[in-house]
Every structure is written in C-alpha cells, then in structure tokens.
C-alpha cells in the first residue's frame, strides 16, 4: 500500500484550516517562544517540557472550539499588560507588587485579587441573568440568557487573568515562593469555578441550549460564595510558600487533571438535577431529596454522639449539618416549583446524553490524576499508595463513577436511577474534596478549613 495513504486524514484536517486558524497558531507559538525566552532560566527540564506540550494542545483546542481562540488571546494580552504595569515600578528583586495598590488598572482590574473578585461578581451576575431568562424568556435564546452567557465568558476570562497574574506575582516575592497557583483551597476553588463554567459554555454551544446555565451556574456561584467566605475568614488570598511536599513539578499536572474531573462531575450533577425535575414524580423527588441528605445528617449525628471527637471537629460537624440542611431546603423549594423549573429544559435524551458525556470526561481525567498522584506520592513519600484519608476517598470517588459508567455501558442504565446516582456522586466528591479537610487529617492536609 502506498504510504501516502496514511497521511490523507492528517493532510485533509490541515487543509480545512482557514487563515484565522493559522494566525491563531502563530500567535500561540510566538507567545510560547516569548515565555521561554524570558523565563526559561526559572524552569527545570520538566517545566520546559510542559510548556512545549501545552502549545500544540492549545492550538488544537482553539481549532476544535473557536471561542477558545478569542479567550486565549485576550487572556494573554491582559496578562502581559498586567506584567508590563508591574514592571514600570521595579524593586531590587523584580516587579514591585506595591504597584497593585498604586496603578489604577492593577488596583481595580488586573492584579490577581482584583481579577478574582471580578470573576466572582461576573459569575454570580451570570447566574442571576440565566435565572431571569429562564423564567421570563419566551424562547431558549432570551436576551437575559444571552447576557448570562456573556457574563459567564467574562468570569472565565477574569479567572484566567487572575490565575496567571497571581503566578507572576508569586515569583516576584522571592525565588523560592513562586509557584503555579493550584496549591491551596483558595487557588483550586478559582480553578474549579472557571473550569466548570467553561465546560458548561462548551456544552451550551454543543447542544444549542442556554436553559441549563441557570442550574450549572448555581454550583459555580456556591463555589464563589465559599471562596469569598474563605478569603474573609482566613485571609486566603495571601500568597504563601509551598510546603516541601508540594515543591514538585507533579503538582502542575496532577491538580489541574483532578479539577477537570471535579468540574465535569459538578456539571453532570446539575444536569442530573434538571433531569429529575423534568421526569420524576413529586413524591419520588421528595423521598430522595429528604432521604439522601437525611441519611448523611444521621451519619454525622452518629459520629458526634458515639465518636470521640474534639470540640473543633464537633463545631465542624455542626457547620456541615447546617450546610446540608440548607441544601435540603433549597431542593425542597425546587420540588415545589418543579413545573416552571423544568418547562424549558432540553429533552430527556439530550440531558441523559450530556450527563453521560460529562461523567465520561471527568472519569478519564480523574483516572489520569489518580495515576499521576501515585507517581507523585512515590517521589514525595516513598510509596505509591498509603491509604491516607484523601487517597481513600479519591478511590471511593473513582469506584463510584467507574460503577456508574459500567452500569450504563454494560447494563444500559438510564433515567432517574442514573440521575440520582450522579447527584449523590457530587456529595461523595464534595466530601472527598472538602470533608476530608474538615474532619480528617493526613498527608494531604494542605488546605484546612
């Protein structure tokens, strides 16, 4: 067989690229070359490899989903502007971070903390506009929903700018403090917010419906609320040095892969809630929405009553019980208003397909993250697995979604059962992410509450 036959799919794919595709590719490569030329002295060989691999990946993603091209270029331009504004007032080490309080654009928009606050505002406004359009719009493309979608894009943009500028700021404090901002709860909650919103925006375009934005942005806004509370209560926005175990290039790939999984699982759970409101009877919804959180509250009460817990842990249990009770009240209101809440949702097969795609994507990346985490553990602690509480609960999350996918692919699981399973899966994932930090201690206790 002529060997050129194998080149036909690749050549055909390249020939379909238009001039804007190639301009985008050139700009990404120029930006990557500039980053390498300016910062290569601060990179080890692994970080240089990550940079080299990220460039074709970003180009491919921009070609696959065109809105990412504008987002990437705008984020890069805003980040470079922030760096240039910092560089106008150098100190003995590098850029003077005091400029964040002196330069207008940095103080009110482009410093990391300002950008993240803008992200928070835009995501909450996006949720409000989505819900406004959900109840008032005659069609699926109501003006309010379009505005909600644009605000969500704005929130993603500001989150990415805040993350990249925070990365730069950390390197200006001291050589041994600079790190990618995915090392504590504050930083990973920013990651979770923009990643979940971006997944939603992709599927919004893919399935040509904005009606799910009202649901998905609820979980993003809840994360924003936690982020703001954590900032006020703990001063978490301050950049801190990395503990020794986190001073590894593994963190740069393990944590983002993990949060691709978390974001996709959160999206699937909110689609599952929409599915249940659309299809399940009021009776079954009430039984589930009271029974599942009620069981969790009973378990918390049993731990409190019969376990030997400290005063701090007891206070955490009370706080956790209050959060679950609040969720119960909210979900009860959803049941009471289920007809208007479900009137404009997509068809059930479309919701079911979106839930499956989100879980499949999340499971793939969560699996990769777990494998990478094992390699990191071997380097940091001398063993691939130690049954640390975080590792144990990560395994529980993995087994939960592995079983969900197995039952769907092998046994044809569909409908309300799979939706309930996905919704409960978010509770399991939330405990693995936050609950372990609240109630359990171990090698992964880097983000205590």
Domains of the chain, by residue range, sit at: 20-64, 73-240, 259-449
Question: Where is mean pLDDT largest: 147-151, 312-316, 413-417, 429-433?
Answer: 147-151
Angle at 200 between CA 350 and CA 396, to 5 degrees: 85
Buried b (16+ CB within 10 A) or exposed e, 142-158: bebbebbbebbbbbbbb
**316 vs 413: CA distance, rounded Å:** 37
Any idea which residue has 């992964």 for tokens? 444
User: 43 or 446: whose pLDDT is higher?
Assistant: 43
**206 vs 12: CA distance, rounded Å:** 23
Tell me the whole-structure pTM to 2 decimals: 0.83
Contact 110, 82 (CB under 8 A): yes
Confidence band for 427, pLDDT divided at 50, 70 and 90: confident
- Averaged pLDDT, 11-38: 82
Contact 439, 448 (CB under 8 A): no
pLDDT at 311 over 70: no
In eight-state DSSP terms, residue 95 is B
pLDDT at 1 over 60: no
**119 vs 134: CA distance, rounded Å:** 22
User: 339 or 6: whose pLDDT is higher?
Assistant: 339
Confidence band for 107, pLDDT divided at 50, 70 and 90: confident
pLDDT reported for residue 207: 85
pLDDT at 318 over 90: no
- Three-state DSSP at 160 gives helix
Contact 268, 355 (CB under 8 A): yes
pLDDT at 220 over 80: yes
pLDDT reported for residue 128: 92
Contact 106, 114 (CB under 8 A): yes
Contact 416, 298 (CB under 8 A): no
C-alpha to C-alpha distances, 239 to 80, 92, 99, 232, 316, nearest whole angstrom: 20, 19, 16, 15, 26
Our separate counts of H helices and E strands in the chain read 17, 0
- Averaged pLDDT, 185-214: 91
- Averaged pLDDT, 193-222: 91
User: 19 or 69: whose pLDDT is higher?
Assistant: 69
- Averaged pLDDT, 27-50: 83
pLDDT reported for residue 90: 62
């Amino acid at each position: 067989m002529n060997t050129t036959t194998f080149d036909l799919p690749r050549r055909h794919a390249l020939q379909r690229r238009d001039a804007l595709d190639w301009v985008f590719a050139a700009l990404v490569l120029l930006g990557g070359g500039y980053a390498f030329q300016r910062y290569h002295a601060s990179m080890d060989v692994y970080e240089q490899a990550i940079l080299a691999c990220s460039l074709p990946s970003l180009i491919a993603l921009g070609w696959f989903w065109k809105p990412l091209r504008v987002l990437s270029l705008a984020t890069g331009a805003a980040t470079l502007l922030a760096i240039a504004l910092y560089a106008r007032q150098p100190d003995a080490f590098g850029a003077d971070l005091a400029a964040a309080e002196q330069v207008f654009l940095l103080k009110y928009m482009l410093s990391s903390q300002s950008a993240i606050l803008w992200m928070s505002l835009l995501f909450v406004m996006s949720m409000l506009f989505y819900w406004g359009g959900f109840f008032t719009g005659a069609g699926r493309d109501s003006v309010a929903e379009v505005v909600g979608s644009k605000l969500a894009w704005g929130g993603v943009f500001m989150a990415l700018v805040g993350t990249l500028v925070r990365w730069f700021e950390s390197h200006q404090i001291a050589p041994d403090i600079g790190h990618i901002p995915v090392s504590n709860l504050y930083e990973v909650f920013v990651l979770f917010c923009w990643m979940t919103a971006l997944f939603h925006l992709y599927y919004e375009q893919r399935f040509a419906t904005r009606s799910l934005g009202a649901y998905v942005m609820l979980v993003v806004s809840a994360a924003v609320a936690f982020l703001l509370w954590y900032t006020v209560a703990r001063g978490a926005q301050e950049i801190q040095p990395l503990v020794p175990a986190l001073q590894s290039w593994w963190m740069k790939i393990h944590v983002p892969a993990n949060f691709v999984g978390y974001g996709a699982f959160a999206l699937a759970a909110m689609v599952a809630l929409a599915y249940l409101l659309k299809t399940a009877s009021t009776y079954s919804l009430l039984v589930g929405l009271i029974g599942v959180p009620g069981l969790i509250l009973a378990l918390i009460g049993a731990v409190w009553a019969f376990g030997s817990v400290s005063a701090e842990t007891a206070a955490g249990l009370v706080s956790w019980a209050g959060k679950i009770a609040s969720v119960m009240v909210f979900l009860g209101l959803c049941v009471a208003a289920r007809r208007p809440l479900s009137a404009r949702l997509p068809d059930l097969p479309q919701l079911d397909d979106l839930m499956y795609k989100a879980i499949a994507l999340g499971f793939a990346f969560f699996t990769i993250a777990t494998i990478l985490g094992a390699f990191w553990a071997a380097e940091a602690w001398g063993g691939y697995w130690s049954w640390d509480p975080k590792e144990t609960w990560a395994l529980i999350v993995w087994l939960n979604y592995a079983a969900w996918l197995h039952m769907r692919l092998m046994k044809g699981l569909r409908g309300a059962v799979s939706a309930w399973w996905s919704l409960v899966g978010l509770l399991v994932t939330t405990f693995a992410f936050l609950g372990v930090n609240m109630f359990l201690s171990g090698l992964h206790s880097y983000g205590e509450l």
